[in-house]
Amino acid sequence: MTGSKASVPTRLRLVVGELPGPVRLDVYLADRVPELSRSRAASLLEEGRVVLNGRVPRKSERPAVGDVIEVELPAPEPIGLEAEPIPLEIVYQDRDLAVVDKPAGLVVHPAPGHYTGTLVHALLHHLTDLSGIGGELRPGIVHRLDRDTSGLLLVAKNDEAHRRLSVALKRREIDRRYLVACWGHLKGDEEVVSAPIGRSPTDRKKMAVVADGRPARTHFKRLERWVGADLLSAKLETGRTHQIRVHLMSIGHPVVGDEVYGGGASRGMSGVVRGWAREFERRVPRQFLHAAELGFRHPRSGEWMQFESPLPPDLSAAAEWARSTSAAS
């Protein structure tokens, strides 16, 4: 993308209201300002762009009711990325937003090892007037999907749409439902997992259920019971990194095909079930996780928007085999 519109920093003024309990300033800002993650809030504090009651605070300070916080959000800067003509299925778009159906294997954002060929590069080619949020000019992706997760993704085309959709996401007003196959069988047809998620203390590249993690809650509903696995609908109440995968692993039912969080077919299985599981695993080419439903209110009109995406061919073929071999079980 070459060039950008001239813009100035955004300045916010917050008056601290009722607090649920003691909370760090960086955490408070991340919860109150849709544009900010906790790490971004911490960076702004370290850069002196946050003022608490007229002085520059430490990020570990705890605000009190009545405190006045002023925040400067830097103007977006060009990211220097070139648009790439990567095929992309755009399910819907208007002047404010787009909904895309991301294929598995496509990384969302550039990162070490993936400096080209990402969803960002594809969006720069297919869409225009994309939002600049978080201190850099980039397509306004409202939420993310893992590289090997397929399905529906929401993109804002301008800053105001991005802000409103980000607020809706934090308020849990965006409905996201996934289709997922897990090893073994849930105890009941429905199960809610409420367990905090944070970085694994033993492997910083992975997430885990940890006592000091961020609150996370997932609703699971069994749609089909197969010989050695369940097909589930998973509804996110929160949106932590790898949430569905970590929560299922934490209750002993990892996602089929998930090499990071223990997707081995032989886990706790024997005899005929173990043989079935090994064949099913052979037929599943990647983690069996698909963002199948997305619902939200349009940031401009307030109209409820609802989108659905069926299982892509790689997962639907595996599901049909599992279904056909489980009919008599």
| Catalytic residue ranges | 146
26-41 burial code (b ≥16 CB/10 A, e <16): bbbbbebbbbbebebb
Amino acid of residue 92: Y
Alpha helices (H) in 134-203, listed in sequence order: 159-170
CB 277 within 8 A of CB 266: yes
Residue 187, number of CB atoms within 10 A of its CB: 8
Distance set, CA 108 to CA 44, 49, 134, 286 (Å):
24, 29, 16, 17
Q: How far apart are CA 162 and CA 12, in angstroms?
A: 16
Angle at 144 between CA 138 and CA 147, to 5 degrees: 105
Q: How far apart are CA 12 and CA 24, in angstroms?
A: 18
- 10 Å CB burial of residue 213 (0-12, 13-18, 19+) is middle
Distance set, CA 294 to CA 133, 147, 179 (Å):
22, 18, 12
Q: How far apart are CA 33 and CA 42, in angstroms?
A: 13
Beta-sheet strands, E only, within 170-243: 175-183, 190-194, 197-199, 207-209, 217-225, 229-236
